């Protein structure tokens, strides 16, 4: 079916194109890590404001809900599919899986700090911890895009790629 997009509007990627969907998730990672990276200076200058609380709420929601779903998409669907046709990517995927664990552990600590600020029990965030988390997440996303997503497009058939989107979509439906 052909979809006509009104001028000036862009269709969001769908699960029929899972690599594009994963890339869009990485765009959100960049967006939310950018917001997070700005928070320590903002708190220093303005303290806790309604806008700060709303920003923290959005960051928490993204990294508590969307990021784990994204990691599950990669861990349960994309990485195994790629390894079946391109086992030479095994060392890279092992490293990326380890990074998922590292990012999750870092997030749990940061999450606690963000919640403390959001609840008004603290006025500041660890600038070093925030910057390290944001930098690691951005580099991780870039590695996935440059290596895994490119390899998936090269090694997986269009049919296989489309099949990967089905469990991804189902994962979102069951998370709601």
For 104, the domain range is: 18-175
**Could you give the number of structural domains in the chain?**
1
pLDDT in tens, 49-101: 999 999 999 999 999 999 999 999 999 999 999 999 999 999 999 999 999 99
Examine residue 6 and state whether it is found in any structural domain, yes or no: no
Share above pLDDT 90 across residues of the chain, in percent, rounded to a whole number? 85
Residue at 11 is within a domain: no
pTM: 0.89
The CATH number covering residue 128 comes to 1.20.120.520
- Give 76 or 14, the one with higher predicted confidence: 76
Residue 129 sits at the vertex; the CA angle it makes with 108 and 79, to the nearest 5 degrees, is: 55
In a domain, 4, yes or no: no
* Burial profile 93-111: b = 16 or more Cβ within 10 angstroms, e = fewer: beebeebbeebeebbeebe
Query: Mean per-residue pLDDT for 96-117?
Result: 97
Residue 123 pLDDT? 85
- Do the domain assignments include residue 7? no
In a domain, 70, yes or no: yes
Average pLDDT over residues 155-168: 95
Chain centroid to CA 158: how far? Answer: 23
pLDDT (tens digit per residue) in 123-145: 889 999 999 999 999 999 999 99
In a domain? residue 37: yes
DSSP conformational letter for 89: G
Q: Which of 150, 172, 165, 129 is nearest to 37 (CA)?
A: 129
Within a domain: 59: yes
């Amino acid at each position: 079916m052909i979809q006509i997009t009104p001028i000036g509007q862009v269709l969001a990627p769908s699960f029929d194109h899972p690599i594009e969907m994963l890339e869009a998730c990485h765009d959100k990672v960049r967006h939310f890590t950018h917001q997070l990276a700005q928070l320590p200076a903002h708190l220093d200058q303005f303290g806790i404001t309604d806008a700060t609380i709303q920003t923290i709420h959005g960051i928490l929601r993204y990294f508590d809900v969307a990021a784990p779903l994204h990691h599950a998409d990669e861990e349960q669907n994309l990485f195994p599919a790629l390894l079946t046709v391109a086992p030479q990517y095994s060392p890279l995927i092992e490293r990326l899986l380890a990074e998922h664990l590292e990012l999750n552990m870092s997030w749990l600590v940061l999450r606690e700090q963000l919640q403390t600020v959001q609840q008004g029990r603290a006025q500041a965030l660890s600038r070093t911890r925030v910057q390290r988390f944001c930098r690691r997440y951005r580099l991780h996303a870039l590695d996935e895009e440059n290596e895994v997503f490119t390899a998936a497009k090269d090694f997986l058939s269009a049919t296989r790629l489309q099949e990967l989107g089905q469990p991804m979509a189902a994962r979102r439906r069951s998370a709601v």
